[in-house]
Amino acid sequence: MLFDSSIRKELARSFGATLVVLVTVVMTMMLIRTLGQASRGSVNPSDVMLVMGYTVLGQLPTILSLSLFMAVVSVLSRMYRDSEMVIWFSAGQGLVSLLHPLLRFAWPVMAVIAILSLGVWPWANAQIQELKTRYEQRSDIDRIAPGEFQESANGTRVFFIDKDSPDTQVGNNIFIATSNGTKESVTSARSARLEIRAGERFALLSQGQRLESATDQHGLKISEFAEYGTRIGSASSASTEQLAVKTRTTRELLTQSTIPAYQAELGWRLGLALAAINFVVLGLALASVNPRAGRSGSLMFALFAFVVYFNLMTLGQSWVGAGKLGLSAFMFFLHGGTLVLALIILAARHNRWTLRRLQPARRTP
């Protein structure tokens, strides 16, 4: 049918253009964020692009939902503005009849959003967590690039290594500057090796000297040593670490749904899929044109509605995680209530319901 095909073609063009713009913006923001994490030592600099890719992949459900919502609102607003809606209405097509072609276009996008939110989202988070954990488990000597000063993981030490070593657990010509409260020290050594003793990671320095000073005291203490050990952190075990809730698979969340944190994460993932359906109905119900507001008025209103909806999802997730609200009640009131509200607005506009102010009848003398 010409009515369905014309709307779907225009929706596809608008959706594609919006998706490209949003993905570009999100990738730029994620790149800046990931570079900041790499500069703080949370992410390996060589894994910046990989972490950014996983992050954008995890954010795709939100990007697709927003692109779908903006496409529906922009296309319908243009049809109102160019009087095409008047032509379709005069041909016997009501506002509700637009819901069928919109859903025919949107159902593949909704399916992709459901797959991404239920399957790809935890997988991407698990990959990012694995990269961060692998980098955090590396020793401070491993993090040092030859010829460069770099802070340790906790920020209390500054390391320098003169040249590279074939062994990742051994370094040559080491310089360590430590600041711990009121005490400061500078340690230099010809070599250092990494050992783990009683669950603690130690760097054993050989053939060096140590300078110590205190901010509340005068004087400088100088000592030389043949071997000196300094603790640089606890030895972490990947096998005993618990994965974050966001990295749990959806099946694990369903099997342990009695835990509030798991319920909150499950509600978020299911909410991403349900929100896409609500955005299609809500976009049809709210799309209109106001000559006084300009062409971007409807898009700004749609963006505001999107922000409010997702903020409510985030707020509900925190309430469910804290045990203040049940998962079923949260899903019913937010997503179910939004769908009912959108259907009521759609029915009111389709049937042209208006609230008329009742006025008393005038009596004739």
- Tell me the average pLDDT across 82-90: 71
Which of 55, 54, 64, 84 minimizes the C-alpha distance to 16? 64
Rounded to whole angstroms, how far apart are CA atoms 221 and 234?
Answer: 28
Place of tokens 């379709």: 88
Q: What percent of the chain has pLDDT over 70?
A: 76
Q: Are 264 and 57 in contact (CB under 8 A)?
A: no
Q: Is the pLDDT of residue 318 over 80?
A: yes
pLDDT at 245: 83
- Under the banding of pLDDT at 50, 70 and 90, the label for residue 63 is very high
Lowest-confidence range among 40-49, 111-120, 237-246, 280-289? Answer: 237-246
Report the half-sphere exposure of 210 (CA within 13 A, side-chain side): 16
Q: Which string of DSSP letters, residue by residue, matches 111-165?
A: HHHHHIIIIIHHHHHHHHHHHHHHHHTS-HHHHPPTT--EE-TTSSEEEEEEE--
- Tell me the average pLDDT across 343-355: 76
pLDDT at 278: 92
Q: To 5 degrees, how large is the angle CA 30–CA 273–CA 64?
A: 40
pLDDT at 143: 54
Sign (positive or negative) of CA dihedral 130, 131, 134, 136 = negative
Averaged pLDDT of the chain: 78
Rounded to whole angstroms, how far apart are CA atoms 308 and 305?
Answer: 5
Q: Which tens digits make up the pLDDT trace of 260-307?
A: 888 888 989 999 999 999 998 888 887 765 555 555 667 787 888 889
295 token code pair: 């062409």
Lowest-confidence range among 92-106, 141-155, 341-355? Answer: 141-155
- What Rg value do the Cα atoms of the chain yield, rounded? 30
- Tell me the average pLDDT across 55-82: 87
Q: Which string of DSSP letters, residue by residue, matches 85-101?
A: HHHHHHTT--SGGGHHH
pLDDT at 312: 92
pTM: 0.70
Q: Are 8 and 72 in contact (CB under 8 A)?
A: no
Residue 325 DSSP code: S
- Under the banding of pLDDT at 50, 70 and 90, the label for residue 313 is very high
Rounded to whole angstroms, how far apart are CA atoms 223 and 243?
Answer: 45
Count of CB atoms situated within 10 Å of the CB of 208: 21
pLDDT at 241: 39
Q: Is the pLDDT of residue 64 over 90?
A: yes
Which of 198, 226, 199, 221 minimizes the C-alpha distance to 211? 221
Q: Is the pLDDT of residue 16 over 50?
A: yes
- Tell me the average pLDDT across 332-361: 75
